[in-house]
Structure 1
Amino acid sequence: MEILIKAGQLILSLSILIVLHEFGHYLPARWFKTRVEKFYLFFDYKFSLFKKKIGDTEWGIGWIPLGGYVKISGMIDESMEKEQMALPPQPYEFRSKPAWQRLIIMIGGVVVNLIVGVIIYIGVLLVWGDDYVAPEDIANGYSFHEIYKEVGFVDGDDIVAINGEKIHDVGDINKTILLRGAEVVTITRAGEQLDIQLPEDIDMIAFKSSAMNGITPRFSSLIDSVIIDRPAKQAGLENGDRVIAVDGQEIAYWNEFTDAVQSRPNETLEIIVDRAGETVRAQVETDSLGTIGVSTAGLSESIVSHTDYTFMTAIPGGLKLGMNSLSDYVSQLKFLFTKKGAQSIGGFGAFGSLFSPTWDWHVFWMMTAFISIMLAFMNFLPIPALDGGHIMFLMYEIISGRKPNEKFMEYAQMAGIILLLGLLIYANGNDIVKAFF
C-alpha cells in the first residue's frame, strides 16, 4: 500500500508540473500565432487514452507516463517528422517566426517551472508555516563523524555559527557545510568559543566517507523503534528501552551506542537497558554491517519552534526557499562526477521514495516545489532534445545571424534523445539494483 501511495503522489506531482511546463510553451506560441498541433500529458506512441481536437490543437493523455509534450508546427523535435520540414515554410510555423519569438517560446517552460516552484513554496509557508529546531534548543551538543573529528571537532561541541552567520535551523547544518561553501564553523566548548577551519574539499571527503549527515545533535540513548525480525527484537529489546551499557561500556548518548555496536560486526554483545526503572540485560548478535535493527526518535526529541507567515512575509520566504533549493541542487551535482555519485543516480523509484508513505499534503507540496525547481534546471541544460538544447541553438542564431543547418539539427536531436534514453535506463537500472541488492 505504501508503494501505491508514493507512486500516486509522484504521478500526480509530475502530471501537474508537466502540464504547467507545457503551457509555458503553448501560451507564447499561441501569442505569436504559431500553430500547436498537439498538447499531451504523457506520450501517446501508437494510441492515446484520451484525445479531443479543439481548433488546430489535439489535446490528449498518452499511455506512457514518462513526461509530456506540445507539438509545434515547423519545429524539429522528438517526433522527428521530416515530411513537414521538407515542405515550404508556412507563416504559422515555428521556423517562420523571428529568432527572438522562438527563444521566448522555448524558454517559457523553464520560466514556468521556476515560478511554479516559488509560488508553491509561498503557499506552503502561508498554510503550514515553518517548523524548525533552533540551535539553543539542542541541550547535549552535537556528535561528529570521524572526518570532522580529524579537523578538530569533539562530541558535545555546540555549533554557534557557520561563516560568521548564526544557524537558524539545526537541520540545515550539514547542507550549509557541504553545499553552500562553508569555510569556518564557530563552536563553544566548555564555555570557550572557538573557530574551526574546514578543509576546502570537505564536501567530497564527506560524500566519499558516507558522512553527508556527519553532524547530528546528540540524542539520548532511548530506543524509539525496534524492527520486527531483526536481532534486537529477537533478543527481547523493546520500544522505550534506554541503553545504559554495551559490553560493560557506559552509554549516555545515541551516537555512543551506535559507535559501540557498529564497531563490532558479526559479534554477540551484552546490551543493558533501563526499562521503566528496571535493569534488563540482552544478548544481541550484530549483522555484517554492525547493526541490530533499532532507531532513535532523533530530532523529534528536541523542542520544535514554529513560525507563521502572512502573505507579505511568505513572498520573500518562498523566494528564499526557491533560490536555496536551486542553489543546493546545482551544488550537489558535483557529486555525480565520482564513481560513488554515478552509482547513486536514481530513477522513478528514487523520486517516489522522496514522498511520504502516507498521503501528507505538506510533504507533497514541498516535494512538488522542489521537483519543479529541479526540472527547470534540468530542462535548461544545453542538451539537444531538451529545451536548453533549442535555447542554445537559438542563441547561436541570434548572435551569429545564421540558422543552424536543419540536417545538423535533426542529428543533434537524435543524439540528445539517445543520450536521455540512456540516462533514463541507467537511472532506473540503479533503482532495480538497489531494490534487490
Structure 2
Amino acid sequence: MEFVIKISQFLLSLSLLIVLHELGHFIPAKLFKTKVEKFYLFFDIKYSLFKKKIGETVYGIGWLPLGGYVKIAGMIDESMDKEQMSQPPQPWEFRSKPAWQRLIIMLGGVTVNFILAYFIYVFISFAYGDTDITSESLKDGYWIENPLLKKLGFQTGDKIIKIDDVKVHAHSDVLKNIVKTEKYTIDRNGKEIDIQLPEDFLGQLSSRKIRGGLFNLRFPFMVGEVIDTMANKTVDLKEGDILLTVNNQTVKYYDQLSTVMSNYKNQTVSSAFLRGNDTITRELKVNKDGQVGIIPAKDSERFDALGYYDLTLKEYTFLESFGGGKDKFVETVFSYWDQLGKIFTPSTGAYKGVGGFKAIFDIFSDTWVWEDFWRITAFLSIMLGVLNLLPIPALDGGHVMFLLFEMVSGRKPSEKFLERAQLVGFIILIALVLFANGNDIFKAFSS
C-alpha cells in the first residue's frame, strides 16, 4: 500500500508539472498563430496509450514517463523532422515568426514552472503557515547518527548555535543551509567548538554506504505498533504510550534506547510508560539483538506539549501569504542554484549525489500528506524550470541562447547548424540522464 501511495504521488506530481510546462509553450504558440502538431504527456515512442486529434493538434499520452513535449511546426526539436524543414517556410511555422515571438514561446514552459511554484508556496503559506522549532528549546541538542558527521567530530547532544558565524534561531536554519555551509559552531556541555566541513563534504555524504539523517531531532520512544511476530505482541501497550524508564533507568530519548537495551539481551525488563497523564508499568522481553519488536511513532504536537521542544506556527492572512510565498520561492530558487554550482564544481564531489527518477520517487512519503505533496511539487517545478534554462541545445535554454544570439547579432544560425546543435544537445541530455539514473542504481547496490 505504501508503494501505491508513493507511486501515485510521483505520477500525479510529474504529470501536473509536464502538462503545465508544455502548456506554457502551447499557449503563446497558439496566440502567435503557430501550428502545434502534437501535445503529449509522456513520450509516445512507436505507439500511444491514448491520442485524439482536435483541430490541427493531436493530444495524447505516451507510454514512457520520462517527460512530455509539444511538437511545433517548423521548429528543430528532438523529433529531428528534416523532411518538414527541407520545405519552404510557411507563415504558420515557428521558423517564420519574429525572433521575439519565438523567444516568448521558448520561455513559456519555464515561466509557467516558476509561476506555478510561486503560487503553490502562496497557497501553502495561507493554508498551513510556517511551522518551526526554536533552537533554544533543543536543550539536549541533536541526535547524530550519520557516520560522516561523527567522523568530522559531531556528537549526539551537540547544540548548533552558529552556521558560518551567523546565529541559528530555528531548526530550519540548520537544514536549509547544508549545501553552502562551511563551518558549524556547536555548544558541547557549555563549551563552544568550531567544526569545519571539508570542501568535498557533499561528495562524501553522497558516496557513503551507511546513511543516516544529518541533524536529527531528539524525541521520546513512543509506541506506534507492536509487531505480531515478536514476543511482546500480547503486552498491553497502546499507540501513543511513551517509554520513561527501563529497570528504573531513565530513557528520555529514542536514541538512548538501543544502548540501554543492549545490556538486557535475552532478558525481561520492567518498563514504565506514560499513558495520557498516568504512568503504567509493563514487562518487556528483549531478544538476542537487544530489540523489543515495537515500531515507534512520532507526534510533534504531543512532544511539544511534553516539553521536548517548542513548536512555533507563523500564520498568514490572505494578503500576507503572497509575501510568504515569495520568500519561500526566492529561497528555494537560490538554494537550488547553489546546489547546481556545487554539482558543476568537481572538487566538491557533489555530482556523486545527483539522482534520477528513483531519487525523485524517494522524496515522496509513503503516507499521503497534502502539505508535503505540494511542497515537493513546488520544489520539482523550480528544479524543472532551472534545469530547462541551462544553455544546452535540446533544452529550452539552448533554444533561448541561439535566439538571443540572433536578436543581438542580427544573424540567424543556419538550420543545418541548429540540427547539429540539437543532436549534440540530445546526446548530452542522454548522457546526463544515464549518469543520474546510473547513480541511483549504484547507490541501490552499494548501500
TM-score calculated relative to the size of structure 2: 0.78
Q: CA deviation at 1:310?
A: 1.2
What is residue 320 of structure 1 aligned with on the other side? Answer: 327
Matches within 5 A, 1:316-395: 316-333=323-340, 334=342, 342=352, 345-347=355-357, 349-395=358-404
CA 427–4 in structure 1, closer or farther in 2 if over 3 Å, else same? farther
> How many equivalent pairs are there?
425
What is residue 274 of structure 1 aligned with on the other side? Answer: 271
What is residue 159 of structure 1 aligned with on the other side? Answer: 160
What is residue 16 of structure 2 aligned with on the other side? Answer: 16
3-state SS in 2 of match to 1:179: coil
3-state SS in 1 of match to 2:90: coil
Matches within 5 A, 1:248-327: 252-257=252-257, 274-276=271-273, 278=281, 280=283, 282-286=285-289, 295=296, 297=298, 301-302=303-304, 303-327=310-334
1:43 aligns with 2:43: yes
What is residue 143 of structure 2 aligned with on the other side? Answer: 143
Q: CA deviation at 1:228?
A: 4.1
What is residue 397 of structure 1 aligned with on the other side? Answer: 406
TM-score calculated relative to the size of structure 1: 0.79
Aligned mates of 1:37, 1:10 — CA distance in 2: 28
- State the AA in 1 paired with 2:287: V
Aligned mates of 1:285, 1:254 — CA distance in 2: 19
Aligned mates of 1:108, 1:215 — CA distance in 2: 39
3-state SS in 2 of match to 1:219: coil
CA 118–259 in structure 1, closer or farther in 2 if over 3 Å, else same? farther
- State the AA in 2 paired with 1:134: T
Aligned mates of 2:182, 2:134 — CA distance in 1: 19
CA 298–143 in structure 1, closer or farther in 2 if over 3 Å, else same? farther
3-state SS in 1 of match to 2:219: coil
What is residue 30 of structure 1 aligned with on the other side? Answer: 30
Aligned mates of 1:232, 1:413 — CA distance in 2: 63
Q: CA deviation at 1:153?
A: 5.5
Q: CA deviation at 1:51?
A: 1.4
Aligned mates of 1:429, 1:147 — CA distance in 2: 23
Q: CA deviation at 1:113?
A: 0.4
Q: Is the Cα contact below 8 Å between 1:269 and 1:284 reproduced in 2?
A: yes
Aligned mates of 2:195, 2:444 — CA distance in 1: 39
CA 422–100 in structure 1, closer or farther in 2 if over 3 Å, else same? same
Q: CA deviation at 1:80?
A: 1.0
What is residue 72 of structure 2 aligned with on the other side? Answer: 72
- State the AA in 1 paired with 2:243: R
CA 358–141 in structure 1, closer or farther in 2 if over 3 Å, else same? closer
CA 76–18 in structure 1, closer or farther in 2 if over 3 Å, else same? same
- What RMSD in Å do the two structures reach over aligned CA positions? 4.1
Q: Is the Cα contact below 8 Å between 2:223 and 2:295 reproduced in 1?
A: yes
CA 344–74 in structure 1, closer or farther in 2 if over 3 Å, else same? closer
- Residue ranges of structure 2 left out of the alignment (5+ in a row): 274-279, 305-309
Q: CA deviation at 1:112?
A: 1.4
Q: Is the Cα contact below 8 Å between 1:208 and 1:340 reproduced in 2?
A: no
- Residue ranges of structure 1 left out of the alignment (5+ in a row): none
CA 251–59 in structure 1, closer or farther in 2 if over 3 Å, else same? closer
What is residue 7 of structure 2 aligned with on the other side? Answer: 7
1:123 aligns with 2:123: yes
What is residue 276 of structure 2 aligned with on the other side? Answer: none
Q: CA deviation at 1:122?
A: 0.4
